[in-house]
């Protein structure tokens, strides 16, 4: 069944030693597949792999993928031994010069500016892909589930509108037979009748529109990315309706054609969100 191009997926899991990894996916309608990535520092080398994973599941729409990592860095205490040596040498010189007897303890030494510090150790993100891939897959599951759910609602709307168009077309078909018979009876020559039928006969348009409606109803029940194909069929439906309206010789037929065109236009609007 058809799928919507609108959806959302979010998963956050802890992946030691990389911390918590959050993957958030948002999807809106677009003519083609357009993937926008927002990645944390260190993930640039994984860009192509992430895109391929998304492309394997999504065929159409603008996908925004946001990935963030928290708690992925470890801190370690660092002592600047070279600076500490300089401090000790200077203090020894002062002690000797001024004949000082007291020794400076370790507690005092580590409080000297620049001696004791904390350094962040980056995690090797090149090894994070197996964890990230699993979290991305779970987020894609959520996204596609929402797109399917909205697609089911779209299917019902499109099917009902197609059935409505079929009903109007049946009325046009029945009315056209009566209108032609009545109009032809009032014409006095074969030439007039031939000219009238040539300019006003919409039999072919009725049959072509009926074919497109049948094709449309069949397609929306199928799986896969068929939004573009459905849009093409709806364009053909609109084309036939326009021709019928232009050739109409009857007020009631013209009114029904206007209703058909209105329904087809609504179908085309809804198709903008079909994958």
- Distance between CA atoms of 187 and 170, rounded to whole angstroms? 26
CATH of segment(s) 150-271: 1.20.120
201 or 30, greater pLDDT: 30
Give the model's confidence band at 91: pLDDT under 50 very low, under 70 low, under 90 confident, else very high: confident
The average pLDDT across 187-209 equals 81
Task: Please report the sign of the dihedral spanned by the C-alpha atoms of residue 168, residue 173, residue 178, residue 179.
Answer: positive
pLDDT at 73: 58
In b/e form, how buried is each residue of 106-120, taking b as 16+ CB within 10 angstroms? eeeeeebeebeeeee
- Candidates 3.30.230.10, 3.30.1360.120, 3.40.640.10, 3.30.2090.10; CATH matching 7-72+124-144: 3.30.230.10
pLDDT of residue 200: 82
Residue 28 CB neighbours (<10 A): 14
- What tokens were used for 233? 């069929």
Q: Where are the beta strands (DSSP E) in the chain?
A: 7-14, 20-28, 33-38, 61-70, 74-79, 116-121
Residue that wins the pLDDT comparison between 195 and 114: 114
- Rounded (10°) angle between helices 129-185 and 190-200: 160
Cα gap 232→167, rounded to integer Å: 22
Cut 0.95: pTM above it? no
Q: Does 151 or 180 have the greater pLDDT score?
A: 151
Identify the pLDDT of residue 134. 96
Assess contact for 209 and 240: CB atoms under 8 A: yes
Across 44-59, average pLDDT:
95
Indicate where the chain has its CATH 3.30.230.10 domain(s): 7-72+124-144
Residue spans in the chain of domains classed CATH 1.20.120: 150-271
Q: Is the pLDDT of residue 124 over 70?
A: no
Res. 103: pLDDT tops 90: no
Say if residue 81's pLDDT is above 80.
yes
| pLDDT over threshold 90, residue 166 | yes
To the nearest whole percent, how much of the chain has pLDDT over 70?
93
Which pLDDT value is given to residue 101? 76
Task: Name the CA dihedral angle for 126, 130, 133, 139, rounded to a multiple of 10 degrees.
Answer: -120
């Amino acid at each position: 069944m058809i799928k919507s191009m609108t959806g959302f997926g979010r998963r956050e899991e802890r992946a030691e030693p990389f911390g918590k990894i959050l993957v958030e996916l948002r999807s809106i309608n677009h003519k083609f597949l357009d993937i926008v990535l927002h990645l944390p520092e260190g993930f640039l080398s994984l860009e192509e792999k992430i895109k391929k994973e998304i492309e394997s599941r999504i065929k159409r729409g603008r996908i925004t993928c946001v990935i963030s990592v928290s708690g992925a860095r470890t801190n370690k205490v660092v002592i600047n031994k070279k600076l500490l040596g300089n401090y000790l040498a200077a203090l020894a010189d002062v002690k000797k010069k001024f004949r000082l007897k007291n020794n400076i303890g370790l507690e005092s030494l580590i409080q000297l500016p620049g001696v004791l510090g904390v350094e962040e150790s980056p995690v090797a993100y090149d090894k994070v892909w197996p964890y990230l891939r699993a979290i991305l897959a779970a987020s894609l599951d959520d996204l596609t589930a929402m797109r399917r759910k909205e697609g089911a609602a779209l299917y019902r709307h499109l099917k009902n509108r197609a059935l409505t168009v079929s009903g109007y077309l049946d009325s046009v078909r029945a009315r056209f037979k009566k209108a032609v018979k009545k109009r032809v009876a009032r014409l006095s020559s074969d030439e007039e009748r031939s000219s009238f039928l040539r300019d006003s006969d919409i039999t072919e348009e009725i049959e072509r529109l009926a074919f497109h409606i049948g094709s449309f109803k069949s397609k929306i029940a199928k799986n896969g990315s068929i939004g573009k194909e459905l849009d093409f069929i709806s364009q053909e439906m609109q084309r036939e309706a326009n021709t019928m309206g232009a050739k109409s010789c009857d007020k009631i037929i013209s009114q029904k054609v206007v209703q058909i065109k209105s329904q087809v236009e609504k179908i085309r609007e809804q198709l903008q969100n079909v994958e």
